[in-house]
Chains A and B, each alone.
Chain A
Amino acid sequence: MTNTLSVKGLSKSFGANKVIDGISFDVPEGSTFGFIGANGAGKTTTMKMILGLLPSDNGEIFVCGEKVSFGATKTNRFIGYLPDVPEFYGYMRAKEYLQLCGEIAGLDALVKSRRISELLDIVGLSGVNKKISAFSRGMKQRLGMAQALLNEPKLLICDEPTSALDPMGRKEILENLKQASRKTTVFFSTHILSDVERICDRVAVLSGGHIALSGTLAELRTKHKSNSILIKFASAIDKEQFVSAAALLMKDAKSVDMELTLRVTDIEAAQRVILRILFSNDILPLKLEVLEPTIESLYLEVAG
């Protein structure tokens, strides 16, 4: 599998403040890559270096095998970029803006007008004829998405595309992203973890200038396998009976209503013990579950 984006040993300081400290990661072709980090972690800085808008102090960036150099925009022909708050010319209409983008990107006139009407349809702006200055935040974000996809990029870079949107706007943008990811590699930054779980297959967590965690979602889930077991009882009597019989397991337990969450060190041994206790006390639980780690718990583990 080839890498659409490859970052090697990238560093960047602003004055004495080292924002990015030797990060490396690869974004394989066809993947949807979530770049996670708190506000101010350096996500936008990293993206701007990938786009050649900011010089890096150290390290190399490759887009589709070509090296990115600051100030030059050669590698940007592979890229579609949606900034965190996209700024347009308020006196233009959506279609006019896309035409300008198409002309600058050097699209053929015929291809351009076809792509523009396609994209306006996809992002739901085809019937909108008002000037961009009258657009809502969500509409601007969708126009931003349309311009990013205009030149059919190999790599779509979105900087916190959903952060400032209401639930409806978020859902629309996520759907656009999901649709785009079928044709192109997507690299997007966010701090909304549920978005990551919804559309990403790979993630990297940026924390303290380093990549604290990276890999496919499946890999991360197995690597950071859970050590929690949830038991749901049918009655309070069952629950009390179990608690008194399994006193050893109760050291690190959380109890909510009929549910009991046990944190253990050896998950398999614990499961055997629990089943034995349940069996010998003739308790039939409603649910017995080994908890999957969520991105949130992983994130808090490495960045918290």
Chain B
Amino acid sequence: MKSFVAFTKKEFTESLRTYRLVVLAAVFLLLGVMSPLFAKILPELLSGVDLGGGIVITAPDPTAMDSWAQFFKNVGQTGMLALIITFSGIIANELSRGTLIILLTKGMKRHTVILSKFLSASVLWTASYLLCLVVCYAYTEYFWPASTLSNAFLAFFSMWLFGEFLIALLIFGGILFGNLYGSLLTCLGVIVTLSLLNILPYVQKYNPIALAGGTLNLLNAQKEAADFIPATIICSVMAVSLLVMSIVVFNKKQI
């Protein structure tokens, strides 16, 4: 437990001094501001544009739902990409540089490394995501007061859960290959596979990829909570399995 606390402290120091924390917070703050702003001004920019030949775009008045659509699109794409890039080296760099050797020979357990890294990355992700969410909510309320959101908790929780899944995936890839490329390629490979699987209609309900942005349909009440519960469960199970597998593989790894 002592080494867990010590190592987690080290992880936070690292995030602070290598600007991981600043970058992540800045990106998500930007996304939080941008989403409602963009929803607000995009129709204004477009309306009245004469495409020639008398064709004029008439955009409908934006609503709160447009702001949240931007939110899910931005966080689901740019945000997740930022998350992947920020945490791709979280374990891969330590293994390829050999910085863990001394600490492991000091008696630290190998599973401590995995759990501590997952915890610290999760805290960073959760904080950044909350920042983004709160800012986006505040602006949306400001522009379109008293808008109703259905199933808000599940909709926002799903996106967060997908982020957790990505962190577990990056850790697993890093442990498996011991370098940055292994970690990144594992993560991207899984995302591409899940996206391809999503073409099959009967898979969609169970596919974790639906949680990264798809839950907008929950918010605007086009779909019900029950439509996303299976994917949520599968995503959680996969994240936990990835962590367990990481520990098992790491325990057998020669370093």
- Interface of A toward B, CB cutoff 8 Å: 48, 51, 53-55, 71, 73-74, 76-77, 79, 81, 83, 85-89, 91-92, 96, 100-101, 103-106, 144, 147, 150-151
Contacts and interface: CB of A to CB of B under 8 A. Distances in A.
- Size bracket of the B interface: 20 to 34
Highest count of chain A CB atoms <10 Å: which of B7, B13, B103, B106: B106
A193 B6 CA distance: 40
A104 B110 contact: no
11 contacts: A53-B255, A55-B254, A73-B104, A73-B107, A73-B109, A81-B105, A87-B101, A96-B13, A103-B5, A106-B107, A150-B106
B224 interface: no
Contacts of A83: 98, 101-102
B105 A51 contact: yes
A53 B252 contact: no
Contacts of A86: 102
B50 interface: no
Contacts of B141: none
B6 A91 contact: no
Nearest to A144: B102
B110 to A, nearest CB: 7
Contacts of A48: 254
A86 B98 CA distance: 8
Contact of B254 (A54, A81, A100, A105): A54
A166 to B, nearest CB: 23
A156 B102 CA distance: 13
Contacts of A104: 2-3, 6-7, 103, 106-108
A83 B104 CA distance: 12
Contact of A100 (B6, B104, B109, B251): B6
A92 B102 contact: no
B3 A53 contact: no
A85 B101 CA distance: 11
Contact of B104 (A53, A103, A106): A53
B102 A71 contact: no
Contacts of B6: 100, 103-104
Contacts of A77: 107
Interface in B16-38: 17-18
Given A71-B251, A81-B102, A101-B103, A91 B17 contact: yes
Contacts of B255: 53
Contacts of A100: 6-7, 9-10, 103
Highest count of chain A CB atoms <10 Å: which of B2, B104, B107: B107
B227 interface: no
B108 to A, nearest CB: 5
Given A83-B98, A88-B102, 13 more contacts: A51-B105, A53-B254, A71-B252, A73-B105, A73-B108, A79-B105, A87-B102, A100-B6, A100-B9, A104-B7, A105-B106, A105-B107, A150-B106
A92 B13 contact: yes
Interface string B172-185: 00000000000000
Ranked nearest first, the 9 interchain pairs of A and B with the lowest CB-CB distance are: A103-B6, A91-B17, A104-B3, A81-B105, A87-B98, A87-B99, A105-B106, A104-B106, A104-B108
Given A73-B107, A103-B6, A89 B101 contact: no
Contact of B3 (A103, A147, A150): A103
A87 B7 CA distance: 16
A10 B53 CA distance: 86
B117 to A, nearest CB: 14
Interface string B97-133: 1110111111111100000000000000000000000
